Structure 1
């Protein structure tokens, strides 16, 4: 399987340019999406965005998180919400503590964004740890 843009860019969450993220590659050839030095830095950025949804915006449900992450004008957000809620094992409108579900939430977002989830549990854990310490 050919790597998707998110995998090629070490940006499995398909995070757009806008913030000066730790771990950005010096050269940014993609005009829309960030290129990170390693997948762990891309996962770190995902974890930071997701935790900030709750901390800064009070978003604490799968429906709220995915609607902000993947707006309906660009995505089939309802299908995305259903997929994430099913894999994470929660109701789409159940309040969550985002930091507690990151290890389950990030892999399913990666899978949905890229059609694959090629990273190990250790890589996911490292990215989350980099974001939360």
Structure 2
């Protein structure tokens, strides 16, 4: 048995065998399903994520850029992945198709690119919780989020009401965390989140 910061590893079986700090888990606002059993490491995907202290996965991507319709994500060493196909929301890790955000790592197709899905999804909740939206009703918030000059706003509003089961006259700031998450999930569904293909690429020789 070998000690490794917040976990122990069985060096023979190569399995992480001790629990993540359960007190920390109880105080997290949201827990990735990969960590719900308290044993996972790097969200069970060490190729894509890093997990320096065994507590949560962190995207290794530090910047992104458009490559035609594709999106290229870069790690610090210059290697990365290219996302192609699927929907813009998936290619950009931006399930809400948000135009810009302070924590974006790039832009593609006129929309922000986020380092990972969780960051992109949380950006929807952050935006709805901001002063620009929080005092609006769900109905009016959707009108601002998806204006008629770019969307079928009335259909958008109707589907949000149908999919969430919420009264759209309710004020955003009055929603519970689970209700706000339901609105964010409905926005993702409306914006279209279809998975495409990821292709790894190596760092250029001169950057190694």
Would you say same fold, with TM above 0.5? Answer: yes
Number of residue pairs matched by the alignment: 107
Of 43-52 and 87-96, deviating more is 87-96
Q: Which one has more relative contact order, counting CA pairs under 8 Å at least 6 apart?
A: 1
Question: Of Structure 1 and Structure 2, which has the larger fraction of its residues in helix?
Answer: 1
Distance in 1 separating the partners of 2:118 and 2:167: 28
Question: Of Structure 1 and Structure 2, which has the larger fraction of its residues in strand?
Answer: 2
User: TM-score, normalised on structure 2?
Assistant: 0.47
Match of 1:34 among 107, 112, 118: 112
Unpaired stretches in structure 1, ≥5 consecutive residues: 119-133
User: TM-score, normalised on structure 1?
Assistant: 0.71
Aligned twin of 1:126: none
Aligned twin of 1:98: 175
1:32–1:99 Cα change, 3 Å: farther
Match of 2:95 among 5, 9, 12: 12
Distance in 2 separating the partners of 1:47 and 1:94: 16
Match of 1:76 among 152, 173, 179: 152
2:158 equivalent to 1:85: no
Distance in 2 separating the partners of 1:20 and 1:90: 30
Task: Please tell me the root mean square deviation across aligned C-alpha atoms, in Å.
Answer: 1.9
Distance in 1 separating the partners of 2:153 and 2:107: 28
Q: Residue 95 of structure 2 contacts residue 193 of structure 2 at CA under 8 Å; is this kept in 1?
A: no
1:113–1:16 Cα change, 3 Å: same
2:186 equivalent to 1:108: yes
Distance in 2 separating the partners of 1:31 and 1:77: 21
